[in-house]
Amino acid sequence: MREKQITIRDVAKEAGVSVATVSRYLNNKGYISQKSELKIRDVMERLNYHPNEIARGLAKKKTRTIALIIPDITNPFFPELVVAIEEVAKSKGYSIILVNTQDGDMEDNHFWTQLQNRYVDGFILASFEMSERVVKAIENSKIPFVRIDRAAEDNANDSIGLDNYKGAKLAVEHLIEAGCRKIAHISGPKSFPPSSERKRGYVESVTDWAVRNGKESPEDAVIVYEGDFTLESGKLLTQVLMNEQKDVDGIFLGNDLMAIGCLKALKLMGYQVPQEVAIIGFDGIKLTEMVEPEISTIEQPIYDIGAVSTNKLIRKIEGIEDDHSLPDEPSLDIRLVARASTLGFGKFR
């Protein structure tokens, strides 16, 4: 059985101050005498009172708005994620404002002050690599937040992650199974954990495969070019790769947008896809089905990622504790979606 919840009123009464004073103390806003402060702190400790977000919310201006911070609006992964988050947020009475920004901008304290000034109730950070400094700025802002698309091992309470390493292994093993004999990887920025996880999966898969095949220097099987997740980098690096490396017949791209650029480059260079080169991406954006051949991919449950993170954030905002037995959390599994860009190659034909 649960004990009666201690409220801000109980604290005020016990400390002999007004509720407004306790609220000022909790929110670090406005004048409060040292004497009152000490009294409040003492009572809070005695009553074992931990102000939850609801209590703090009472004293704060609530706008039922969530800020969603994304790194690249031109990558369809993010618009698809935005739509999911908006839908879930709307169903719970919240609206969304979007901020499209670069890692660098977040280094600026001004960025966080601005966010506070906009009176958002919470924010969702999608796919960012953050320095210590930024993490500190976020904590200082005291706004509830959730992070998306971090490395899986980093799956803390405030963060939604998928197993990028496992996804990459699925992709590379699929290329191996198709019969590819020289598999290259065009990665995302190495500073970004999900892309280094994908690269790690690739490196391990091709190295193991080289060992299994009795190669003397298994590390020679590793061919990596570092891109930046854009269409253009997928296109450009494929051109560089195909010029610098002989006989590449399989390419694992760090995301789908680069895979679409890769497909374009291969066609321009006169390669038959998938007969001569098989390619596979990562993300599961709709456009992979619109190109010819359709591109195989490691599909992330984009909608569910949005839904889970939004629900998690709203629970934080409203001070509801995470209950992992609740059924509203679909499991966030990635899966291989094999399409013509690999199924038309070698053994699969």
- Please, which residue, 13 or 264, has the CB nearer to a copy of itself? 264
Q: How far is the CB of 6 from a copy of itself (least distance, A)?
A: 32
Nearer to a copy of itself, 260 or 280 (CB): 260
Closer CB to a copy of itself, 40 or 99, in the complex: 99
Counting every residue, how long is the chain? 349
Shortest spacing between CB 79 and a copy of itself, in angstroms: 4
Smallest gap from residue 267 Cβ to a copy of itself (A): 7
CB of 304 to a copy of itself, least distance (A): 17
Give least dist CB 82 to a copy of itself, A: 5
Cβ proximity to a copy of itself: between 17 and 259 the closer is 259
178 close to 211: Cβ distance less than 8 angstroms: no
Comparing CB distances to a copy of itself, the nearer of 38 and 268 is 268
Number of other CB atoms surrounding residue 213 within 10 Å: 11
What is the nearest approach in angstroms of a copy of itself to the Cβ of residue 346?
A: 22
How many CB atoms sit inside 10 A of residue 74's CB? Answer: 11
Q: Which of 74, 128, 80 is nearest to 284 (CA)?
A: 80
CB of 73: closest distance to a copy of itself in angstroms?
A: 4
- Under a CB-based contact definition with an 8 Å cutoff, are residues 333 and 301 in contact? yes
Question: Residue 203 or 231: which CB sits closer to a copy of itself?
Answer: 231
**Given the structure tokens 């954006």, which residue do they identify?**
285
Strands (E), 153-262: 159-162, 183-187, 224-226, 250-253
- Look at residue 160 and give its three-state secondary structure: strand
To 10 degrees, what angle do helices 231-244 and 256-268 make? 50
Cα–Cα distance for residue pair 183/210, rounded to 1 Å: 11
Burial 10-34 (b: 16+ CB within 10 A, else e): bbbebbebeeebbbbbbeeeeebee
**Least distance from a copy of itself to the Cβ atom of residue 85, Å:** 10
> Measured from the CB atom, is 178 or 302 closer to a copy of itself?
302
- Which parts of this chain interact with a copy of itself (CB under 8 A)? 63, 65, 67, 73-74, 76, 79-80, 82-83, 86, 95-100, 114, 117-119, 231, 260-261, 263-264, 267, 286-287, 289-292
State how far the alpha carbon of 182 is from the alpha carbons of 22, 103, 241, in Å: 66, 34, 12
CB 292, min distance to a copy of itself, A:
5
Cβ nearer to a copy of itself, comparing 159 with 300:
300
124 φ, ψ (degrees, to nearest 5): -115, 125
Express the helix, strand and coil content of the chain in percent, nearest 5 each: 50, 15, 35
CB of 118 or CB of 182, closer to a copy of itself: 118
